[in-house]
Structure 1
Amino acid sequence: MPLPTDQKLIALSEQLLLQFDAIFGLNPGFRPVHAKGIMLTGTFIPSSESATLTKASHIMRESTPVTVRFSDSTGIPLVPDNDPNANPHGCAIRFNLAEHVHTDIVSHSTDGFPVRTGEEFLGLLRALATSDPKNLAGTPLEAFLGSHPKALAFVQTPKPAPSSFARESYFGVTAMKFTNEEGVSRFGRYRIIPEAGNDHLEDAAAAAKEPNYLMDEIVKRVAEEPVKFKILVQLANDGDVVDDATIHWPEDRKVLELGTISLTSSVADTAHEQKQIIFDPIPRIDGIEPSDDPLLELRAAIYLISGRRRRSAPAN
């Protein structure tokens, strides 16, 4: 994945990383957000209808090996899994197509995003860095949320703790353009839905959990039986906005099943592997293209810049 040549994009990416560092502190060798995580491996099997949507190579095969990283929010490597700030949780999926050839899905457990552009996101982070979220009155964060209703709605969306990473749904933030072998294209957003069903905890039950309950539980669970998710795509209708992550499409839009992920083992040296892997929110594969959402190129740049920084950090 090459570093973008757009100097304005690079500068904005670096400014955002500085704000993450200001909010969460410097933690060499870890991600600036979703720092705490765990990785598992398994297999993706496409559905019978998936080829009607896309000609992507992992859809044309019988199966494809996958690597999946579940994570807590924040850039704090030791954030307790039951800390409310650990939500929304992340789910990043890598389809391993060949040696050094892959395509990824990056998702989190709240459907949507607080802002449309990178500049707005920088404004949100700057407000957060100079405010106490527990005492909002008169703070820059209160002013930002007051002038950005979509951000306020995202902040106010309930984010209950799941009983397991395997009992949570995850959502792609941005729309992608899917094209099949006949050249027909549709825009859609990913949904990763657990076959075991969603299961969320009451606040008191979450508070009583151990600090690493999610990380420990998923390792135990996958050792006993496969952990399965359906990968779905909610399809946009003609006229739907496809370049704004803050806009939800109506629930009556068609949802197509892309396939099933079956996770069968945890990664042995998970700390080392998490330090090395750099997920890419841009698909970079024939049959799935990015939309014109302005967050995509920015997120890809941040992931790459922070990933290189993470890899170059001294071994712990």
Structure 2
Amino acid sequence: MTQALPIQAILRRTLLGGALVLAAPAAFVQKARAQDAATTAEQTIAAMTKIFGDHPGKRSNHAKGVVVEGSFTPSADAKTLSKASVFAGPAVPVTVRFSDATGLPQIPDGAPEANPHGLSIKFKPADGTEMDVVANSLKFFPVATGEEFRDLLVAITRSGPDAQKPTPVEQFMAAHPSAPKALATARTPSSFGRQVYHGVNAFLLVDAVGKRNAFRYRFVPVAGEEILSADDAKAKAPNYLVEEMPARLAKEPVAFRVEAQIAQAGDSTKDSTIPWPDDRRFVDLGTLTLTKAVPDSQTVEKALLFMPNNLPDGVEVSDDPLIDARVQAYAISFGRRSQ
């Protein structure tokens, strides 16, 4: 096993966040872009491995998690915005994975580095047109491109205890003021089911006549958000989040309101470091109801792959370059843990 860098002394918060590259005028340009994206993704995963160590069979980031199941019941408004079968009704089965940040499988759930927490959902309607959604508890993303995210990770690898001040990661943060601002929005919940999750990337809802609305997801716990103080989080048992969710589901369902924040003219869809104003319209897409934990979460999660571009007709990727960056990195990470 590769020795991980002492990330607690390097960075108190960490993260990872996969749309296809938009059509270019010439085929060779498309190929070059795809190669560049793949190279960036490989460098990203390599940097993660250097930071967190090599943990066979585990994700390069968000390595620790728990898998549960339930259903999604779409709202009446959802079918007016998208022709996707997942929004047409009736309820569809879902597989959901909650996770801690970092590539450390044994990270304490209450550690600051375990933020932001992740929420990944695979919708499985009867017609077979699956849809994946990947969200986390950050209100917006620290960087705008896959290259910048790679550069952040590389800066962390070069910012060990003996690094000259200002360290590379301190220089990166100073040059990218959105990064520390985004990381400051990550907080520790009392339960995976008591935290708001955000889809930081923009996507498009396409209705029956072809009208497109740019939007971002938000998942709001029906029971309300409950955030712990730093002291209370530190005092929690190391696995309190991954153990609490199955225990909670054994007693009662856990529900989230699934919302779409609709962009207005001028709102950026390609820069996930820029949150849209709170006065933008939020549309109720439906209710996500979780009812049971899977019997062997660690075995199931190894085979699960959530790809942000795995979308049905009626939902499309936007021009956000981070979507493709995530797709590329997730594919490499999946290949590594499947070996």
Counterpart amino acid of 2:178? K
Once residues 222 and 293 of structure 2 are traced to their aligned partners in structure 1, the CA distance between those partners, rounded to angstroms, is 18
Q: Does 1:7 align with 2:7?
A: no
- The residue that corresponds to 1:304 in the other structure is 331
Q: Does 1:182 align with 2:209?
A: yes
Q: TM-score, normalised on structure 1?
A: 0.94
Q: CA RMSD in A?
A: 2.0
Q: Does 1:18 align with 2:46?
A: yes
- The residue that corresponds to 1:150 in the other structure is 178
Once residues 211 and 171 of structure 1 are traced to their aligned partners in structure 2, the CA distance between those partners, rounded to angstroms, is 25
How far has the Cα of 1:98 moved from its partner? 4.7
- The residue that corresponds to 2:101 in the other structure is 73
How far has the Cα of 1:136 moved from its partner? 9.0
Q: Is the 8 A contact 2:110 2:188 kept in 1?
A: yes
- The residue that corresponds to 1:209 in the other structure is 236
- The residue that corresponds to 1:116 in the other structure is 144
- Paired residue for 2:121, among 88, 93, 98? 93
Q: Is the 8 A contact 1:136 1:142 kept in 2?
A: no
Count, aligned residues = 310
How far has the Cα of 1:132 moved from its partner? 4.5
Q: Does 1:259 align with 2:283?
A: no
Greater mean deviation of Cα atoms: 5-14 or 284-293: 5-14
Percent identity of paired positions between Structure 1 and Structure 2: 43
Q: Tell me, which stretches of 5 or more residues in structure 1 are unaligned?
A: none
Q: Tell me, which stretches of 5 or more residues in structure 2 are unaligned?
A: 1-17, 22-30
- The residue that corresponds to 2:65 in the other structure is 37
Q: TM-score, normalised on structure 2?
A: 0.88
Moved over 2 A (4+): 97-101
How far has the Cα of 1:102 moved from its partner? 1.4
Aligned pairs for 1:198-277 (under 5 A) are 198-277=225-304
Greater mean deviation of Cα atoms: 38-47 or 158-167: 158-167
1:178 is paired with a residue of what secondary structure?
strand
Q: Is the 8 A contact 2:65 2:99 kept in 1?
A: yes
Counterpart amino acid of 1:52? T
1:97 is paired with a residue of what secondary structure?
coil
Once residues 274 and 147 of structure 1 are traced to their aligned partners in structure 2, the CA distance between those partners, rounded to angstroms, is 36
Once residues 217 and 158 of structure 1 are traced to their aligned partners in structure 2, the CA distance between those partners, rounded to angstroms, is 23
- The residue that corresponds to 1:131 in the other structure is 159
- Paired residue for 1:193, among 204, 216, 220? 220
- Paired residue for 2:91, among 42, 52, 63? 63
Report the CA distance shift for 1:136/1:68 in structure 2 as closer, same or farther (over 3 A): farther
Once residues 261 and 29 of structure 1 are traced to their aligned partners in structure 2, the CA distance between those partners, rounded to angstroms, is 29
How far has the Cα of 1:100 moved from its partner? 6.5
How far has the Cα of 1:153 moved from its partner? 1.6
Once residues 100 and 210 of structure 1 are traced to their aligned partners in structure 2, the CA distance between those partners, rounded to angstroms, is 40
Counterpart amino acid of 1:17? I
Counterpart amino acid of 2:309? I
How far has the Cα of 1:101 moved from its partner? 4.4
1:193 is paired with a residue of what secondary structure?
strand
Once residues 129 and 57 of structure 2 are traced to their aligned partners in structure 1, the CA distance between those partners, rounded to angstroms, is 24
